[in-house]
Amino acid sequence: MTTAAGSTAPGVYVCGADELGPGERLVRELDGRSVGVFNVDGCFYALANRCPHKGGPLCRGPVTGTTLPTRDLEFRYGMPGRVLRCAWHGWEFEIETGRCLALPRVRARTYPVVVEGGGVYVVL
């Protein structure tokens, strides 16, 4: 992608890095693709806004944690703010990798994110 000044941008501009605080997200159309951009503890991640299960709007679901595997008869909550749950059927995905927590072979599509010059860019 080339900017008006002729320099090459690292991807599609989404927003200023200071416009998306920790724990926040934006869902935008980028070159005809619906993409969610998430700030997880100051790191930016992008996922396709499509659940691989049934095609629901994945990035509109709640950002939560999940119950972690433990020993017998124990429950432990973990990964707060790092799990995206599809609003249609509750499938959970790790925001950083797109990996489905219940079926690790299933992944939501992820995109590289570049923060440069104060801007957040998604590489499609």
| pLDDT of residue 64 exceeding 70 | yes
Confidence of residue 28 (pLDDT cuts 50, 70, 90): very high
Long-range contacts of range 65-70, CB-CB < 8 Å, 24 or more positions apart? 66/92, 66/101
- Which sign does the torsion angle of CA 69, 57, 99, 84 carry? negative
Confidence of residue 63 (pLDDT cuts 50, 70, 90): very high
| pLDDT of residue 4 exceeding 50 | no
**Euclidean distance between CA atoms 118 and 111, whole angstroms:** 19
Domain range list for the chain: 23-115
Q: List, edge to edge, every strand of the sheet that includes 63-68.
A: 63-68, 76-85, 92-94
46 burial via Cβ count (<10 Å: 0-12, 13-18, 19+): buried
Cβ–Cβ < 8 Å for 67, 74? no
pLDDT at 72: 80
CATH number for the region 23-115 comes to 2.102.10.10
